[in-house]
């Protein structure tokens, strides 16, 4: 169980899929019944998929629901470092041509348990599958680089054997019938979406893997033949088209190669009967805008971003934070999903601020699905180990992930009033390396309103339609044109609800149902609409939220979330050492509420507070020993 008790958000949706299949409609995800599909999710990966006992899986599905998640991505099911994986024992297998029934059964059980809790599933079809000699892949010897196994990334776009082998996996995976639900993945409405191949693009990351200096003569011949044919077909200079590292004609070719693969895979999956929205690969790893066109072939555009320490201190006039990278992946006319967000290296001291920060930006931008990476990659049968991939036992993240879920899923923060569209045209999009790292226009627009990237009509890419721009949108064409004053130290969203002060390193959310402050709060008094916080804790997050749908001042049920720095014990062991939240919180709320916390037995226990002039005064100190307080009507 989780002490926040947000499972009520999923009760109307259980079992997941009851509203029919998720579909992409314009820039929005919807269920078949026409209702909006909005997902706050996480990742369950690797060893957790195959080594967690069935009773623990059921318990964790319930806990995920209590924490407010309604989407879980099953990830690293095929990776060679995970033993066993979906192919079986990685030390004994000689090929990756067959799915192992015992391991499929474990994935099936996760799907069944999550579905029962009203939690949807995101399926990856390929993450990190490594071919073996027994797979019979043409060109295997040059792909494996002297190792026993070969990563397929990049090669799949030119090697027909890799393409066909991926298709065979997809067919076996999506047609396999889950004995616990009696449905194949292709017929399962609890599956929200599928991803064809993870972090595997030609346009920025893997195009160079096919070049002459990479000692892959067979793949280079295939690539060069495609490059020469593309150059001849469109009257482009051959000596520029093949140079994958240089913006310009090469980015046209690489997008075209990626699109051909994507279109083939999409058609194959639809032919198998897959109904849900499909993502091709991801915008990830600091990719420029010229990586977006090929992604638009999918039904959604998916993105990944990882920040570092002090993301809230990044001045958008000078440098990006992780939300800017995500924002530059939102293409006009397409739903936006994020299958991975996080910060590294672990343990970043201010990671408690990330969930509400990401949820606030996502609400402003109108993104459709957010997945924290990751809830766990280890079997959850005990306290577990500290890790960037183990939010399940991380006090800093667990403190604020539920608050972010509640705000985002219930729409406490409004979508932006103003839409900024960056519409650079084909020459600039493909000919320049434009990204969040070097475009102040993109970063500053995302601070104020909703940012969209427009696709241009491009004669060399007839499959790429010109984006239809929203009526009344503010069009930007100069990546260097800031949307903020040159000396600005703070930006407030055009809704007036979200404020980012990079000079102080703070972010505030000020809505009727969620009021929160995060970042470097120590030594300040922060007044929001209905709360006032004074704290000496240098880096912290506090959120006051309504649990009954009423504004904070009228609610009979309020949740207070407290996030602070936490570090593992010496030797990277649990339990974590957690910094106490020190300060005073005043909450303007209705008379007659009592303050509670949950004790170690998950029972409500009273906490002293006072009420004067319409406000509760709550002392925050080390004696609380909790991340959550509740102001509730005493029945």
Task: Print the SS3 string covering 103-145.
Answer: HHHHHHHHHHHHHHCCCEEEEECCCCCEECHHHCCCCHHHHCC
DSSP structure class, residue 196: S
Is residue 43 helix, strand or coil?
A: strand
Q: Give a yes or no: residue 270 inside a domain.
A: no
In this structure, the answer to whether residues 348 and 458 fall within a common structural domain is no
Letter string b/e over residues 287-316, b meaning 16 or more CB atoms within 10 A of that residue's CB: bbbbbbbbbbbbbbbbbbbbbeebbbbbbb
pLDDT at 332: 98
In this structure, the answer to whether residues 32 and 175 fall within a common structural domain is yes
Is residue 475 helix, strand or coil?
A: strand
Query: How far is the C-alpha of 324 from the C-alpha of 435, rounded, in Å?
Result: 9
Give the pLDDT confidence of 460-514 residue by residue, as tens digits.
Answer: 999 999 999 999 999 999 999 999 999 999 999 999 999 999 999 999 999 999 9
Structure-token match 């790429």, residue found: 464
Token digits for 428?
């600039």
Q: Give a yes or no: residue 405 inside a domain.
A: yes
Tell me the backbone φ, ψ of residue 519, rounded to 5 degrees: 110, -145
pLDDT under 50 in the chain at which residues?
A: none
Nearest one of 99, 95, 198 to 148, comparing CA atoms: 95
The strand pairing partners of 515, in sequence order, are 510, 544
In this structure, the answer to whether residues 467 and 573 fall within a common structural domain is no
295: domain CATH number is 3.20.20.80
In this structure, the answer to whether residues 72 and 32 fall within a common structural domain is yes
Residues 6+ apart with CB under 8 A from 427: none
CA distances from 506 to 91, 345, 518, 526, 589 (A): 49, 21, 6, 10, 25
pLDDT at 602: 80
What is the dihedral angle through the alpha carbons of 246, 252, 254, 255, rounded to the nearest 10 degrees?
A: 130
In this structure, the answer to whether residues 453 and 393 fall within a common structural domain is no
pLDDT at 409: 98
Domain tally, the chain: 3
In this structure, the answer to whether residues 447 and 299 fall within a common structural domain is no
Q: Give a yes or no: residue 504 inside a domain.
A: no
In this structure, the answer to whether residues 70 and 178 fall within a common structural domain is yes
Neighbours of 466 (CB within 10 A): 14
Q: Give a yes or no: residue 613 inside a domain.
A: yes
Neighbours of 125 (CB within 10 A): 24
Taken in order 393, 395, 399, 405, the sign of the CA dihedral is negative
Query: How far is the C-alpha of 266 from the C-alpha of 628, rounded, in Å?
Result: 45
Burial of 34 (0-12, 13-18, 19+ CB in 10 A): exposed
> Read out DSSP for 409-460?
HTT-SPPPSSEEEE---HHHHHHS---TTT-HHHHHHHHHSEEEEPPPP-TT
Q: Give a yes or no: residue 427 inside a domain.
A: yes
What is the Cα Rg of the chain in Å? Answer: 25
Nearest one of 541, 499, 545, 503 to 522, comparing CA atoms: 541
What is the rounded end-to-end Cα distance, in angstroms, of the chain? 24
Burial of 571 (0-12, 13-18, 19+ CB in 10 A): exposed
pLDDT at 599: 83
Cα–Cα–Cα angle for 485, 491, 492, rounded to 5 degrees: 130
What is the dihedral angle through the alpha carbons of 621, 623, 627, 631, rounded to the nearest 10 degrees?
A: -80
Q: Is the pTM of this model over 0.85?
A: yes
Cis peptide before 540 (omega within 30 of 0): no
How much of the chain exceeds pLDDT 70, in percent?
100
SS (H, E, C) 487-542: CCCEEECCCCCEEEECCCCEEEEECCCEEEEEEECCCEEEECCCEEEEECCCEEEE
**48, 40 contact by CB (below 8 A):** no
Neighbours of 12 (CB within 10 A): 9
pLDDT at 635: 62
In this structure, the answer to whether residues 460 and 554 fall within a common structural domain is no
Structure-token match 């979200």, residue found: 498
Q: Give a yes or no: residue 607 inside a domain.
A: yes
> Which of 371, 389, 409 represents a domain boundary (last residue)?
409
Cα–Cα–Cα angle for 246, 213, 239, rounded to 5 degrees: 40
**82, 47 contact by CB (below 8 A):** yes
Nearest one of 119, 129, 146 to 7, comparing CA atoms: 119
pLDDT at 286: 96
The strand pairing partners of 41, in sequence order, are 71, 371
The strand pairing partners of 490, in sequence order, are 501
> Which of 365, 380, 409 represents a domain boundary (last residue)?
409
In this structure, the answer to whether residues 281 and 398 fall within a common structural domain is yes
> Which of 384, 409, 434 represents a domain boundary (last residue)?
409
Give the domain range for residue 285: 7-146+164-201+277-409
Cα–Cα–Cα angle for 329, 41, 519, rounded to 5 degrees: 75
**318, 472 contact by CB (below 8 A):** no
In this structure, the answer to whether residues 434 and 391 fall within a common structural domain is no
In this structure, the answer to whether residues 425 and 543 fall within a common structural domain is no
Tell me the backbone φ, ψ of residue 146, rounded to 5 degrees: 85, 0
In this structure, the answer to whether residues 459 and 341 fall within a common structural domain is no
Q: Give a yes or no: residue 245 inside a domain.
A: no
Burial of 157 (0-12, 13-18, 19+ CB in 10 A): buried
Q: Give a yes or no: residue 156 inside a domain.
A: no
**279, 287 contact by CB (below 8 A):** no
Nearest one of 271, 131, 261 to 207, comparing CA atoms: 261
Residues for the chain: how many in total?
635
């Amino acid at each position: 169980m989780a002490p926040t008790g947000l499972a009520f958000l999923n009760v109307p949706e259980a079992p997941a899929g009851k509203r029919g299949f998720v579909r992409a409609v314009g820039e929005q995800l919807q269920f078949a019944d026409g209702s909006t599909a909005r997902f706050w999710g996480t990742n369950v990966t690797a060893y957790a998929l195959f080594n967690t006992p069935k009773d623990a899986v059921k318990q964790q599905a319930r806990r995920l629901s209590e924490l407010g998640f309604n989407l879980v991505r099953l990830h690293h099911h095929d990776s060679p470092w995970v033993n066993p994986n979906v192919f079986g024992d990685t030390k004994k297998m000689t090929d990756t041509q067959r799915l192992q029934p015992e391991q499929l059964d474990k994935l099936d059980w996760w799907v069944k348990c999550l579905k029962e809790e009203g939690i949807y599933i995101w399926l990856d079809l390929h993450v990190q599958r490594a071919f073996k000699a027994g797979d019979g892949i043409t060109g295997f010897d040059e792909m494996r680089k002297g190792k026993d196994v070969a990563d397929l990334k990049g090669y799949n776009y030119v090697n027909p054997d890799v393409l066909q082998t991926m298709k065979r996996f997809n067919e076996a995976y999506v047609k396999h019938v889950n004995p616990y639900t009696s449905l194949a993945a292709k017929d399962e409405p609890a599956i929200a979406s599928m991803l064809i191949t993870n972090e595997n693009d030609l346009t920025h990351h893997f195009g160079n893997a096919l070049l002459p200096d990479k000692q892959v003569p067979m793949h280079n011949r295939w690539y060069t033949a495609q490059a020469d044919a593309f150059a001849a077909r469109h009257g482009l200079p051959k000596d520029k088209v093949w140079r994958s590292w240089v913006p310009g004609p090469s980015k046209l070719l690489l997008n075209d190669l990626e699109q051909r693969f994507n279109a083939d895979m999409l058609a194959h999956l639809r032919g198998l009967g897959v109904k849900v929205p499909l993502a091709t690969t991801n915008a990830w790893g600091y990719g420029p805008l010229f990586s977006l066109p090929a992604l638009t072939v999918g039904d959604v555009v998916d993105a990944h971003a990882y920040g570092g320490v002090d993301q809230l201190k990044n001045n958008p006039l000078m440098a990006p934070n992780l939300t800017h990278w995500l924002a530059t992946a939102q293409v006009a006319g397409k739903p936006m999903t994020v299958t991975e967000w996080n910060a590294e290296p672990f343990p970043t001291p201010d990671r408690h601020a990330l969930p509400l920060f990401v949820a606030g930006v996502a609400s402003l931008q109108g993104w459709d699905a957010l997945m924290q990476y990751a809830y766990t990659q280890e079997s959850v049968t005990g306290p577990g180990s500290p890790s960037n991939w183990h939010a399940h036992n991380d006090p800093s993240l667990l403190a604020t992930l539920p608050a972010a879920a509640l705000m985002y899923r219930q729409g406490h923060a409004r979508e932006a009033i103003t839409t900024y569209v960056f519409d650079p045209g084909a020459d600039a999009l493909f000919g320049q390396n434009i990204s969040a790292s070097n475009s102040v226009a993109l970063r500053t627009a995302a601070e104020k309103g909703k940012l969209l990237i427009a696709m241009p009509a491009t004669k060399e890419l007839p499959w790429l339609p010109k984006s239809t721009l929203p009526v009344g949108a503010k069009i930007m064409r100069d990546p260097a044109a800031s949307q903020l004053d040159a000396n600005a130290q703070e930006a407030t969203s055009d809704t007036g609800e979200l404020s980012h002060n990079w000079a102080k390193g703070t972010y505030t959310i000020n809505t009727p149902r969620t009021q929160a402050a995060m970042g470097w709060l120590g030594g300040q008094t922060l007044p929001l609409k209905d709360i006032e916080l004074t704290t000496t804790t240098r880096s912290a997050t506090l959120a006051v939220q309504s649990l009954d749908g009423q504004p904070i001042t009228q609610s009979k049920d309020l949740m207070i979330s407290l996030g602070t720095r936490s570090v593992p014990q010496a030797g990277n062991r649990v339990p974590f050492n957690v910094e106490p939240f020190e300060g005073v919180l005043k909450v303007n709320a209705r008379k007659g509420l009592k303050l509670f916390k949950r004790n170690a037995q998950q029972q409500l226990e009273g906490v002293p507070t006072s009420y004067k002039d319409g406000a509760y005064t709550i002392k925050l100190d080390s004696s609380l020993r909790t991340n959550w307080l509740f102001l509730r009507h005493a029945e």
